[in-house]
Amino acid sequence: MRPPFFLFLFLANALSAQDIYDYTHSRAYARYLLQSQQYTLAAEEYERLIFLRPDNDTLRADLLRAYRKGDTPQRGLEQWAKWQLEPRPKTRLLYTEYSRLLLRGGYPDRARNLVSASAMFDSTQMKRTVLYANMLEQKWPEARQSIEAIPAAEKIPRRADLENLIKRGERSKKKNPWVATALSVPVPGLGKAYAGEWKDGIISLLFVGVNTWQAYRRFDKEGADTFWGWIHGGFALGFYTGNLYGSHKAARRQNQKKFNRLQHDTEALVFPVLD
């Protein structure tokens, strides 16, 4: 028996067998997937890694990050609930990621409670999270207070943009849907103009006006047994009622649109600066 033969045997075995599903390989692959922004695949990989190393908080944080960045924060929150981490000592890395996940997943209130209740977050982190939560909930006066609580020396990303957005939020006024309906009772279309859709208001006025005028002409000329008179009358009534409802809806739509636009801009501003 010559030792070199054994050496060869040993090396051959070690080289030929390379487990690409083991921890080290999977970790490298997962990190590559996360960095190359293939978040769905990365999440699957981290799920497997966590199965291999159940108590690794760095892996957990990375998984939550993959879910958050991959626009499936809900999956991350479900996973969090399954882990049942509460009695364990908290690690800052994981809980920071969790607070971001809550903000991203549509639970700003829970994120605010988390950072306020726990001593683990430092004051900068806490103030920023509260600011973002207030903005995402569109609580503009509160958001104003929280941004003023952060001194200018403490650098937070895109501060000027955040301040402008808060200013915009404070200025935006809502329309009352019932006022819109009431305005449309005497003058069809006036309610829509009040809501901000004045072109639609003019069209409504035209539709109701022309049909009423036509119906009046026909009834005036032919009495009650006019076919087209009743048709135009029916249309006039339909468009008049439709416009009452439409004015109400126009005001609601405009309010919703304002809300959505602010929400969209807030999310576009806040989500990228979470990490």
Partner 1 sequence: MKIALTISLFLLAGNLFAQPERVAQLRGVPHVKGDIALLGQAFAATPKPRLSEQFSLSRENPNELQTVLSGLFLVYKSFFSSQDNQRCSFHPSCSEFGLEAVKKLGVVRGIICTCDRLTRCNGFSPRQYEIDLEKRVLKDPVGW
Partner 2 sequence: MTQRLLFFLCWISAVSFLPAQTADETLLFAREQLAAGNKPLALKTYQRVLFFSGDQYRDECQRQLAALYADQGDFEKSAFYCDLLYQSADTDSLRYEALFSKTGMLMLQNQYKKALLELFSLPNNLPEPWMSRKRLYLGAAHFGIREFDLARADLLPLFAASDVQGRAEFERLMREAKRISRKSPKIARVLSMVLPGAGQFYAGDIKNGLNSLLLNALLGYWFVATGISYTFVDAAATVTPWLFRYYGGGIRRAGEILEKKKEQRLRKVFREVLIKIER
Quote the CA–CA distance of 240 and 191 in Å, as a whole number: 12
- Angle in degrees, CA 237, 239, 242, rounded to 5: 105
If one asks whether residue 67 binds partner 1 (CB under 8 A), the answer comes out as: no
If one asks whether residue 13 binds partner 2 (CB under 8 A), the answer comes out as: yes
If one asks whether residue 239 binds partner 1 (CB under 8 A), the answer comes out as: yes
3-state secondary structure of 196: coil
3-state secondary structure of 133: helix
Binding mask 184-203 for partner 1 (x = CB under 8 A): -------------x-xx--x
Which of positions 3-22 make contact with partner 1 (CB under 8 A)? 9, 12-13, 16-17
Residue of 124, 122, 255, 90 lying closest to 177 (CA atoms):
255
Which of positions 168-187 make contact with partner 1 (CB under 8 A)? none
- Angle in degrees, CA 269, 271, 273, rounded to 5: 75
If one asks whether residue 17 binds partner 2 (CB under 8 A), the answer comes out as: yes
At its nearest, how many Å lie between partner 2 and the CB of residue 13?
4
Which of positions 89-148 make contact with partner 2 (CB under 8 A)? none
Burial of 156 (0-12, 13-18, 19+ CB in 10 A): middle
Residue bearing tokens 């006022």: 179
At its nearest, how many Å lie between partner 2 and the CB of residue 250?
26
Which of positions 27-56 make contact with partner 2 (CB under 8 A)? 29, 32, 41
Question: How many chain residues bind partner 1 (CB under 8 A)?
Answer: 22
93 close to 121: Cβ distance less than 8 angstroms: no
94 close to 100: Cβ distance less than 8 angstroms: no
If one asks whether residue 238 binds partner 1 (CB under 8 A), the answer comes out as: yes
If one asks whether residue 16 binds partner 2 (CB under 8 A), the answer comes out as: yes
Is 21 or 51 the residue whose CB approaches partner 2 more closely?
21
Applying CB under 8 A, the residues found at the interface with partner 2 are 1, 3, 6-7, 9-10, 13-14, 16-22, 25, 29, 32, 41
